[in-house]
Amino acid sequence: MFIELLAYMSWFSILLFAIGITLVIIELYVPGFGIPGIAGAISLIAFIFVTGRNRAHYIILAGIILVICAVLFVIFFVLLSKKRLPKSLILETSEEGFSGTRDMQFLMGTVGTLLSTCRPAGNADFDGMKLDVVSRGEFIEKGVKVEVIEIEGNRIVVKETTGASE
């Protein structure tokens, strides 16, 4: 059956297959929207219908293409795990990307004024610095003085201070 398929292959079907596989490989290595992958899939599907003569041929050709693509994916992920991909695909330094939130521990114990009602999230002003804050679950009215009692990453937890309203 496979040798029978080789007899039906023309230069056009071989060209469709080569273009399709090449575009799938490009899709693996070039980050982007997926246009090479989609074009490669269309080319491979066209190859199946140009080369095959009946349903059995279509199934065999589709199976062969799936095996080839699976092998390509395995090769790609082996190279990925051994860090042998092009350097343009891998961010190796942390200085270029997001560096995280700044340390807000200096706010611990600071007193500020709520700019909005805290239900339980709101905004507060700490000496001209406007920040998002949360309470421990209680509602606190706008204009009330609050104290920072806990900081977890960029989450600032406040509580109402005694003698609160302005």
Burial label, 1 (beta-carbon count in 10 A; 0-12, 13-18, 19+): exposed
Convert the pLDDT of each residue in 87-137 to its tens digit.
655 556 655 444 445 678 888 999 999 999 998 899 999 999 999 999 998
Bridge partners for 88 per DSSP = none
pLDDT for res 164: 45
Q: What is the DSSP string of 41-93?
A: HHHHHHHHHHH--SHHHHHHHHHHHHHHHHHHHHHHHHHHHTT-S-GGG----
pLDDT, tens digit, for every residue of 29-58? 776 778 888 999 999 999 988 888 888 888
3-state SS assignment for residue 139: coil
For residues 100 and 30, what is the distance between their CA atoms, to the nearest angstrom?
Answer: 27
On the question of a cis peptide bond just before residue 86, with omega within 30 degrees of 0, the verdict is no
Across 21-25, 69-73, 81-85, 93-97, least confident range:
93-97
The β-bridge relationship of strands 111-114 and 121-126 is: antiparallel
123-154 pLDDT tens trace: 999 999 999 999 998 999 999 999 999 998 88
